[in-house]
Amino acid sequence: MTTNNIKDLLEQMWRDYSTMNPQAYRIYHSLLEKEDKIVNDHIALRTFNDPRIGIDVLKKPFIESGYVYKGEYHFTAKKLYAQHFEHLDPLMPKIFISELKLEEFSDELQQTVRGLIDQVPEELYQRFDFVNIGRPWDLDFKTYEKLLAESEYAGWVSAHGFRPNHFTIFVNHLKSIPSLRGVNDFIKRMGFKLNDSGGEIKGSKEVMLRQSSTLADRVAVAFSDGEHEIPACYYEFAYRYPKSNGVLYTGFVAQSADKIFESTNKSQ
Ligand code: OOG
Ligand code: NI
């Protein structure tokens, strides 16, 4: 796909994500039977803080399309840093981009990751759709497992590359199930597991955001030495509360996000 249009890119991202993750496809379409439309609260992207592919590179297509920086978040234990971006049009999804702070990891991990990035031709990072390009490097399963052992996040990015790791249903806009607990029950009745780290529902009315998410779909990924089933992407559900001025809070909550990241962990 070669587009410079953000709506086309977001649609392409959804098509690729919902094709790769049957769980998201099934949840979306079951809800659509009862709703006229599903509003997407946000999309999350992951990367490494190498300047060639860091947040400043991944944010580009969004900034060019009218998105602006709105906030930053620190995750000390997971060694991550994140920023979020919003569009003037409130129906456009917010964009949450995190990056792994490579310098805080072993020399071996740093060298391995830089070696992966070295494989990527520079023209590729400059593409408008780089954020949805998938894995742009060769990777064998042993190397994946080594990265995973040091950081679940590093394992995920090395195996899946650049693609949304989740879309998020904006629960406030649902007419048939307007509560997060109701959505969670619906998801569980469909037979999907929720991420239970920190409880099924993260956040509160006080922090103006409550969130839950599925555990990532396990999908077959082609490594350079064969296919293996590993966690891919998850689906998130967000319910937002108004600020004192009556307008819905649009930011994220680091303490909750810290647990949401674990939705792609190998086991829970
Ligand atoms: C992002 C986790 C955080 C949220 O809504 O707080 C998040 C990730 O798993 O990459 O999405
Ligand atoms: Ni999220």
Alpha carbon nearest to ligand 1 atom 2, residue: 261
Ligand 2 centroid distance, CA of 224 (Å): 30
Contacts by 59-62 with C-beta closer than 8 Å and gap 24+?
A: 59/83, 59/85, 59/95, 59/97, 60/128, 61/6, 61/9, 61/128, 61/129, 61/130, 61/131, 62/6, 62/87, 62/95
pLDDT at res. 117: 98
Q: Are 202 and 259 in contact (CB under 8 A)?
A: yes
Alpha carbon nearest to ligand 1 atom 9, residue: 261
pLDDT at res. 224: 97
Residue 266 predicted with pLDDT over 60: yes
Alpha carbon nearest to ligand 1 atom 1, residue: 261
pLDDT at res. 180: 98
Ligand 2 centroid distance, CA of 260 (Å): 7
> Is any ligand 1 atom within 6 A of the Cβ of residue 252?
yes
Q: Which of these, 119, 127, 125, 120, lies nearest to 12 by C-alpha position?
A: 127
The predicted model gives 223-249 an average pLDDT of 98
pLDDT at res. 125: 92
Q: Which atom of ligand 1 is nearest to the CA of 202?
A: 6
> Is any ligand 1 atom within 6 A of the Cβ of residue 260?
yes
ipTM exceeds 0.85? yes
Residue 52 banded pLDDT, cuts 50, 70, 90: very high
| Ligand closest to CA 81 | 1
The predicted model gives 226-251 an average pLDDT of 98
| Ligand closest to CA 262 | 1
The length of the chain, given as a count of residues: 268
Percent of the chain with pLDDT over 90: 96
Residue 216 banded pLDDT, cuts 50, 70, 90: very high
Residue 2 banded pLDDT, cuts 50, 70, 90: low
Q: Are 42 and 93 in contact (CB under 8 A)?
A: yes
pLDDT at res. 18: 98
Ligand 2 centroid distance, CA of 43 (Å): 7
Average pLDDT of the residues of the chain: 97
**Euclidean distance between the first and the last CA atom of the chain, given in angstroms as a whole number:** 36
> Is any ligand 1 atom within 6 A of the Cβ of residue 44?
yes
pLDDT at res. 267: 83
Q: Which atom of ligand 1 is nearest to the CA of 165?
A: 10
What six digits make up the tokens of 217?
């779909």
> Is any ligand 1 atom within 6 A of the Cβ of residue 23?
no
Residue 268 predicted with pLDDT over 80: no
Alpha carbon nearest to ligand 1 atom 5, residue: 257
pLDDT at res. 188: 98
> Is any ligand 1 atom within 6 A of the Cβ of residue 257?
yes
pLDDT at res. 1: 53
pLDDT at res. 173: 96
Report the predicted TM-score, pTM, of the whole model to 2 decimal places: 0.98
Which domains are seen in the chain, by residue range? Answer: 6-264 (3.10.180.50)
Query: How many other CB atoms are found less than 10 A from the CB of residue 229?
Result: 10
Ligand 1 centroid distance, CA of 44 (Å): 6
Residue 11 predicted with pLDDT over 60: yes
H or E element at residue 222: strand 218-223
